[in-house]
Chains A and B, each alone.
Chain A
Amino acid sequence: MEEVFTMTKNSYNTAELVAIMSARLLEDGKIIFGGAGMPLISCVLAQKMHAPRLTILFEGGVIGPHIEPGKLPPSTNEQRAARRGNMHLSITDVLLLQQRGYVDYGFLGGAQIDQYGNLNSSFIGDADNPKVRLPGTGGANDIASLASKILVAMHHEKRRFVEKVDFITTPGYLQGGDSREKAGLTAGGIYRVITHLGLFDFHPTTRRMRLEALHPGAQVEEVQENTGFEMLIPDEIGHTDPPTEEELRILRELDPDQRYTRAKDE
């Protein structure tokens, strides 16, 4: 599924909101493995704002690139994504750095997510008779199995936030509780989900998705209406600050043609 975002009544669209809210979570000095699309642009945005020492890894085999504004790559496996890196290495070896424990964050998009943070990018419908055959995992399964903390950026819609994904391409907390560890995935796990409505984390024992903070203008009811499972709502809910002029300016310099941050209605 292509990423779909809509205009909000504010001076920014929902794709821009997700990119900015994601970028804010990325700490300077950390190492992050970025997926294509929204993760890529959020990593680059963070680098241009508060995290100039954020080291980005892409599965194409690049360590520490600095992407040129206006030349965002449509894949993480090509030369624009390799711009001004510290090292080029094979796909297998860059992904293996995560297995050794070098990577703080993995950052992914997804077509479908469930209450335990499992992602589907393989099949809509039954895998043996799919309604839609999606492109597949790429490095997503590897990243979510191995990086220390996983971030997921998505548009918040009922058909995308489902009780159980049609197919677990990429493991979150599997069936909840300690099922992830029992399956052999002893490291990592989903850390945050970033949508155009808010930030979400996971309950420490049940591993169910939980609202952490709402973005400007978003309501709890709106979150529930757009979620296909029972979202945990804690007593205290945080609120994020609206995107700043500077954040929007830098983002628009990075993606002047809005290839990644286009609103649905445009």
Chain B
Amino acid sequence: MPRSYKELREVIENKDRGLREKVMSLTEAIHLIQDGDHVAAGGCHYSRTPMAAIWELIRQKKKDLVYSRSISSTEGDLLLVAEATKHVITSWFSPGVTWGVSRAMRHYIQEKLAIYEEWSHMSLGLRYRAGAMGIPFIPTRVMLGSDLFPRLPELKEMECPYTGEKLALVPALNPNVAILHTQRCDPYGNVQSEGLPFMDQDIAGASDKVIITTERIISNDQVRRSPDRTSIPFFQVDAVVEVPYGCLPHECYGYYEPDFSHMDYYVKLMMGKGPEGVKEYLDQYVYAPESWTDYLEMLKFGDILRATTDGRSVYND
């Protein structure tokens, strides 16, 4: 059952919403996530994925999470195989069109080891938006007539009281914790993202707690110089962690493209050996390194350099 409006409001009302510093370590920030929580990740597909946060929550052996994301890529495989989640809410789930259908995802879903709850991309976005707006649902004109509809008991149909039209009602989604990666954030949690905003703003507004990992921590003065660039206000944020290259091997707009050679390496391992390949990957790249910096050192510098050069090229004319 979804939580009542009163319950959802109380969480927000009881938060310390004052202007205060929230900078902490990745380990401390991920301690905010409890087993069983609904964790929503920002970014989309292999772009602005909060990979460091996901990497750390796997290392902290979080269990029974509900995981939602607009589109899930390789990070979804890692969460399934690490058994951090058995319930994924998304609209599309595989590394990327040129890499084929995830064999890890197929194994977990086809063997009924996990649930993939499929919503259309826009309806999932409207669910977060309704959550952020503090309303129980949003009417829309998608999902109607499809076979997705009867598989989603929470999705309802109604006759519009004004026009008599048939509409789909998508219910609000209010995650317990949002994990979002950004390019710039101040110590209080004012987020200034660049490039595609994806669903981050609505996810932040819908969630009880928000963890921000950022390429750079900037000063509050810098934020106040361009407040029009702020997409998430400080009082929605609970933790700020500086994690340069925090999306790798995925991309961060204007900073780096995906590390395509590492993506190819991962996909080959995962498609070749299925979940066993992902387990090998987890052992080597998630459990073994002592820190995120140690993990980065395992990637090839030449590949990161190329990803960085290409990433910055968005600002070339």
Contacts and interface: CB of A to CB of B under 8 A. Distances in A.
Contact of B146 (A2, A82, A95, A170): A170
A88 B92 contact: no
Interface in B49-99: 70-71, 90-94, 96-99
B47 interface: yes
B165 interface: yes
A179 B146 CA distance: 12
A264 B71 CA distance: 28
Contacts of B287: none
Contacts of B314: 79, 82-83
Nearest to A82: B196
A90 B251 CA distance: 17
Contact of A167 (B100, B142, B147): B147
A142 B123 contact: yes
Interface in A158-192: 167-171, 174, 179-180, 183-187
A1 interface: yes
B148 A169 contact: yes
Contacts of A137: 91-92, 118-121, 148
Contacts, number: 187
Interface in B187-204: 195-199, 201-202
A260 B96 CA distance: 12
Contacts of A36: 97
Contacts of A2: 100-101
Contacts of A151: none
A1 B202 contact: no
B196 A74 contact: no
B147 A74 contact: no
A78 B46 contact: yes
Identify whether the interface residues of A are mostly helix, strand, loop, or mixed: loop
Given A79-B314, A171-B145, A141 B120 contact: yes
B137 interface: no
A226 interface: no
B253 interface: yes
Given A142-B120, A171-B144, 20 more contacts: A2-B101, A62-B196, A74-B99, A90-B198, A90-B201, A92-B128, A122-B118, A122-B147, A127-B147, A133-B109, A133-B116, A135-B94, A135-B105, A137-B121, A140-B120, A141-B121, A184-B145, A184-B168, A185-B141, A186-B141
Interface of A: 1-2, 36-37, 59-62, 71, 74-75, 77-80, 82-83, 88-92, 95-96, 99, 122, 127, 130-142, 145-146, 167-171, 174, 179-180, 183-187, 259-260
16 contacts: A36-B97, A60-B198, A61-B197, A77-B44, A77-B47, A77-B70, A79-B254, A91-B121, A91-B125, A127-B147, A133-B101, A136-B93, A141-B142, A142-B121, A142-B123, A170-B146
Interface of B: 44-47, 70-71, 90-94, 96-102, 105-106, 109-110, 116, 118-123, 125-126, 128-129, 140-148, 151, 157, 165-168, 195-199, 201-202, 251, 253-254, 257-258, 310-311, 314
